[in-house]
Structure 1
Amino acid sequence: MESLKIVVAAVLALMVSPAIAQSDAELMFANPSKLTQTDGEDVYNAICAGCHMRDGQGAVGAGMYPALANNTNLEFPGYPIYLIIHGQKAMPPLGDVLNDEQIAAVVDYIRTSFGNNYPEETPVQDVTESR
């Protein structure tokens, strides 16, 4: 229950802030080791859905959160891996929040969901090498 409270607070903070620095992301996820989800859908729902929406359609509000649905930028896993680790614009860097297995799992999830059909699995080693 404690980890759920941390995740909910983090998602709400993300929706309010258009851009945040690495240290801010670390503060929002006060204890990243408590985020124990390793299933891609669970990680997506806990971290990503607050901005990209549960259906992957994206949103516009405090920032512009691109749609992941039918997104050809997801064809190659290196692109979402880089963005998740390093962030870009309103996307906070989550490299210190998620471990390599969680990142690979969420990349696989978004590449095979929301109308995307890129079924090749993302090797955890690709995430490790992108850090």
Structure 2
Amino acid sequence: MKRHISLTVFAAALALSGAASAQDFVQSGTSERLPQTDGEAIYNAICSGCHMPDGAGAIGAGAYPALAGNANLEAADYPIYLIINGQKAMPPLGSYLDDAQIASVVNYIRHNLGNNFEGETDAAYVAQSR
């Protein structure tokens, strides 16, 4: 009986809390777009919850890869594609971030979090990737 009550309480709490996502964050404001334009601010607002503030990644309800020291980020095309289209547990964010915001967060993760890859990307390059 205790187990049944505990599971019921857990299920109710889970249902009430809902799954946190970038969509929930963005749509809780007055715009369907994320207001931040700085790459670090965007990362902290929607990426760090899964990939962690230091980019170390996490394993829990899903597997969230480390961005810190991630060789896949050497080419800007890879994170641009994932941010726009999503993959596995990562939701597609292309409709919530404009091209300049995507370029900004891609530059942030490629030049911070233990990464020091060469080159910058810009909004025009992101637009070609859509």
> What TM-score, normalized to structure 1?
0.78
| 1:52-131 equivalences in 2 (<5 Å) | 52-131=51-130
Higher RCO, Cα 8 Å, sep 6+ = 1
Residue type of the partner of 1:32? E
Query: Cα deviations across residues 19-70 of structure 1 (Å, max 9, x unaligned)?
Result: xxxxxx656632323x211110000000100000000000011110000000
Contact 2:104 2:122 in 1 (8 A): no
Query: Cα deviations across residues 63-113 of structure 1 (Å, max 9, x unaligned)?
Result: 100000000000000000000000000010000011111000000000011
Cα distance between partner residues in 2 of 1:100 and 1:108: 12
State the Cα RMSD in Å: 2.0
Moved over 2 A (4+): 25-29
Cα distance between partner residues in 2 of 1:124 and 1:105: 8
Structure 1: 5+ residue runs without aligned partners? 1-8, 15-24
- Number of aligned residue pairs: give it: 111
Cα distance between partner residues in 2 of 1:104 and 1:129: 12
Structure 2: 5+ residue runs without aligned partners? 1-16
> What TM-score, normalized to structure 2?
0.78
Contact 2:26 2:96 in 1 (8 A): yes
Residue type of the partner of 1:59? A
Larger Rg: 2
Give the share of equivalent positions with the same residue, in percent. Answer: 60
Match of 1:32 in 2: 32
